[in-house]
Structure 1
Amino acid sequence: MDQLILSRQRRKDKVVVVIGATGTGKSRISIDLANRYDAEVINSDKLQIHKGLDIVTNKVTDAERRGVPHHLLGVAPPDEDFTVDDFVYHASLAADRITRRGRLPIIVGGSNSYVKALVNDDVEFRNKYECCFLWVDVLMPILHSFVSKRVDRMVDARLVDEVKEFFNPSGDYTRGIRRAIGVPEMHEYFRTEPFHEEHESRVKILEEAIEQIKSNTCILACRQVKNILRLEGLLERRMHRLDATDAFLKLGDEADQAWERSVAKPSTKIVDRFLSKTNTTPMFSPPVASIFLKSNAVATATR
């Protein structure tokens, strides 16, 4: 009888999912883990999926990737929308290819609508994969200060020149990569640039645009945390929160030590336990009616 039960089951493949608000260090920990576990990264940031605006969207550089293969990063044309369905399809394909090579897929990004659609709403993915969720979190006032300084660094890295190439005189920033924070905020500066004769006037408009970028980035971070909490309520599996605040309060070697202590080591222990655990799933999907009832029960449950 036991053999019959086992014959109707198969082991689930494992996937690690790293989420968090913008600027919390998701890419850093995903690359740390990828080097430790012979893994590959699947990007789930809906703007980093597009080509272009590498500074504005804060794409990881080749050097920062440290040899780790990245999928769905800078692959979609700038002006085309990459829908949730597109992401589910391509992310599933990438995960399948990675696991067939005997490697671990690590999904990382701040677009929680993409993650939810894949790990919670897609029945085929849920039947095939067991997920471990790592939430990299930073105390919001500390994160706001960090992202504000990060915008200044992006400006120093020629953000303005990069955005100018994507300036749209019609002001349509509803499609593709032009939705990225940093693009619509610069519209007024570029629109009036030919008419600015006074240097002080130009500087003032630019400063206002940069401040708006900072403000909108902070608003985004707050919204992302709220979405993470909603996702946590939907998931049947526990989400592991990693508090990286201490690493953001320190500088230099002390910051690296704090990161190792509060994020790197705990996440490694969590993933070690996850990978050593055996999980099985039925070979056949449950009836559609059962899936519908189950998803509704989860959606209406209170935390």
Structure 2
Amino acid sequence: MREKLIVLVGPTAVGKTKLSIELAKHLNGEIINGDAFQIYRGMDIGTAKVSSEEANGVPHHLIDIRNPGDNYSAADYQRDARQTIHEIAGRGKLPILVGGTGFYVKAAVYDYHFPSGGSNPAYRADLEELAQSEGAEALHTRLRAVDPVSAARIHPNNLVRVIRALEVFHETGRRFSEQEYEKKLTPLFETVFIGLTMNRDLLYQRIDSRIDQMVDQGLLQEVCSLYSQGLRDAQALQAIGYKEFFPYFENQCTLEQAVDQLKRNSRHYAKRQFTWFKGQMNVHWFDMGEALNHFSQTAVEVIRYIEEQFSFY
């Protein structure tokens, strides 16, 4: 029998952390982080990493497993997440994968194989140098010219995947998108997909409010500490919540402008997250707007739905 797995997805600030902990407590579960940047140590405030008080004794996995100067790929996450799912299920617990990094979640849960071949370290280094000199958009423009499907799916700031797509095309003559989506993917586990949504205006208000709280909690100091370690160009520091402060440190904008840019980027990211999950996974959606005042009732509805799907008795 395949292991049972809950996947809880949705845009930033929609309430995934609180609900996932409630699900874990009621369903004898343990939580697996599905956010690409919560894996890094020292990136706590900007990634909204769960605190020990919030966790309330519920085990969380794949958090703080790398230093911010380390590289960590979707393939690495696929390996680690699947191993963690097997370990949790082997202890008789229910794995609950929670996150907003859609490609990481997809790679872990589905029968997904990364494109093979097309490795050229010298060409990759040339692309990285071009990105530094001309900016990420220059590479994304190249990708749009040779593989518009991949360009539409990969954000310009996701340099790792943009470079990989260009490298594969350069070496194999095949589009990255053709290798990625040439077959229908199926979940490896007996999976229930839960999605959380919310009225857009309300969600944007929550995002703005949360960022203000992050700043009050010391976000600027957290980013400055990492920046001062010479990590400006590290993969980890490309996360939303960190890179927006670089112009401020370099006297190119005011702190207020940096915070406003962070809010805009976070709102745009939330929109992309919702669109991605809606199009990529068979998700059953729950509106969290009502849950702001009736959280317990919403949690009960989600738990009931999961029990029905798994035929728990």
Asked if the contact 2:277–2:283 (Cα under 8 Å) also holds between the matched residues in 1, the reply is: no
Aligned-pair CA distance for 1:126: 5.7
Q: Tell me the equivalent position of 1:17.
A: 7
1:66 matches 2:66? no
Q: Tell me the equivalent position of 1:80.
A: 70
Aligned-pair CA distance for 1:171: 8.6
Q: Tell me the equivalent position of 1:244.
A: 288
In structure 1, how many angstroms separate the alpha carbons of the residues matched to 2:258 and 2:230?
Answer: 18
In structure 1, how many angstroms separate the alpha carbons of the residues matched to 2:309 and 2:208?
Answer: 36
In structure 2, how many angstroms separate the alpha carbons of the residues matched to 1:277 and 1:183?
Answer: 43
* Compared CA separation, residues 178 and 127, structure 1 to 2 (3 A): closer
In structure 2, how many angstroms separate the alpha carbons of the residues matched to 1:217 and 1:127?
Answer: 29
1:220 matches 2:264? no
1:8-55 Cα shifts (integer Å, max 9, x gaps):
xxx222000000000111111111010111111110100111111200
* Compared CA separation, residues 61 and 111, structure 1 to 2 (3 A): same
In structure 2, how many angstroms separate the alpha carbons of the residues matched to 1:128 and 1:162?
Answer: 38
1:231-277 Cα shifts (integer Å, max 9, x gaps):
13xxxxx42101001234xxxxxx2xx2222x301111011112326
In structure 2, how many angstroms separate the alpha carbons of the residues matched to 1:189 and 1:160?
Answer: 10
1:152-198 Cα shifts (integer Å, max 9, x gaps):
0111101111110112698944x3320121222111221239xxxxx
1:114-172 Cα shifts (integer Å, max 9, x gaps):
1111222338x967520000001111111011100111011110111111011269894
Q: Tell me the equivalent position of 1:38.
A: 28
SS in 1 for 2:110: helix
Q: Tell me the equivalent position of 1:181.
A: 240
- Larger Rg over CA atoms: 1
- Give the length in aligned residue pairs: 242
Q: Which of these residues, 291, 294, 300, is aligned with residue 265 of structure 1?
A: 300
1:83-114 Cα shifts (integer Å, max 9, x gaps):
11111100111011111111100000000001
In structure 2, how many angstroms separate the alpha carbons of the residues matched to 1:47 and 1:208?
Answer: 24
In structure 2, how many angstroms separate the alpha carbons of the residues matched to 1:207 and 1:224?
Answer: 26
Q: Tell me the equivalent position of 1:199.
A: none
SS in 1 for 2:190: strand
Q: Tell me the equivalent position of 2:250.
A: 191
Q: Which of these residues, 62, 86, 89, is aligned with residue 96 of structure 1?
A: 86
Q: Tell me the equivalent position of 1:276.
A: 311
Asked if the contact 1:171–1:187 (Cα under 8 Å) also holds between the matched residues in 2, the reply is: no
* Partner amino acid, structure 2, of 1:52: G
* Partner amino acid, structure 2, of 1:152: D
Q: Tell me the equivalent position of 2:122.
A: none
Q: Tell me the equivalent position of 1:132.
A: 192
Could you tell me the percent identity over the aligned residues? 32
Aligned-pair CA distance for 1:226: 1.1
In structure 1, how many angstroms separate the alpha carbons of the residues matched to 2:55 and 2:268?
Answer: 28
In structure 2, how many angstroms separate the alpha carbons of the residues matched to 1:171 and 1:35?
Answer: 38
1:202-234 Cα shifts (integer Å, max 9, x gaps):
xx70101110111100011011011112213xx
Q: Tell me the equivalent position of 2:43.
A: 53
* Partner amino acid, structure 2, of 1:151: I
SS in 2 for 1:82: coil
Asked if the contact 1:181–1:213 (Cα under 8 Å) also holds between the matched residues in 2, the reply is: yes
* Partner amino acid, structure 1, of 2:101: S
Asked if the contact 2:231–2:237 (Cα under 8 Å) also holds between the matched residues in 1, the reply is: no
Q: Which runs of 5+ in 2 are unaligned?
A: 114-184
In structure 2, how many angstroms separate the alpha carbons of the residues matched to 1:169 and 1:91?
Answer: 29
Q: Tell me the equivalent position of 1:208.
A: 257
SS in 1 for 2:100: coil
* Partner amino acid, structure 2, of 1:32: E
Q: Tell me the equivalent position of 1:231.
A: 280
